[in-house]
Amino acid sequence: MHNITIKNLEEIDNAALQLLNLIKNERIVCFYGTMGAGKTTLIKALCKAMGVTDVVASPTFALINEYSDANRKPVYHFDFYRINKIDEVYDFGYEEYFYGDEGICLIEWPELIEDILPETGVVKCTITVKPDLSRNVEVEKS
């Protein structure tokens, strides 16, 4: 387990580089945290570190946004906050994304779909807001 401390927003790009180094070649990266903890902000910085030039925004209503990294590989950004039933995830063919051979999946609100995540190769990032409003990102690989 690794910890990344983000004292303020100016440190987000450095934190994203640290996280990218920890992810290495894993394809599923889950972001846990309360509303407003900074999941989308960290994902935006992570996408920037991967060379994504598209506008990165939370796919709250679409469930998934797709970008391309600097190597033209797909970056899939999921937000499961608004799903009501796991069937909604089945309907869009999650297997192709989670179990495919290419691209990386960045997942907000993964606790709502944990039963369908792969058993191995998942990076869990838990963001905790501290009293001084800094963030701690606990990074754990399964």
DSSP class per residue in 87-120: HHHHHTTHHHHHSSSSSEEEEESGGGSGGGS-SS
Q: Model pTM?
A: 0.94
Calculate what percentage of the chain has a pLDDT beyond 70: 100
> Chain-wide mean pLDDT for the chain?
93
Contacts of 39 (CB under 8 A, 6+ apart): 31, 32, 33, 108, 109, 127
Please check the confidence at residue 60 and state whether its pLDDT lies above 90: no
CA 24 to each of CA 69, 75, 86: distance values in angstroms, whole numbers, following the listed order? 14, 14, 29
**Tens digits of per-residue pLDDT, 6-50?**
999 999 999 999 999 999 889 999 999 999 999 999 999 999 999
* CATH code: domain of residue 110: 3.40.50.300
User: What is the domain range of residue 74?
Assistant: 2-141
CA pair distance 117, 77, nearest whole angstrom: 15
How many domains is the chain partitioned into structurally? Answer: 1
Please check the confidence at residue 142 and state whether its pLDDT lies above 90: no
Task: With cut-offs at 50, 70 and 90, classify the pLDDT of residue 90.
Answer: confident
Query: Packing angle between helix 12-23 and helix 39-49, nearest 10 degrees?
Result: 70
- Contact, 23 vs 98, CB < 8 A? no
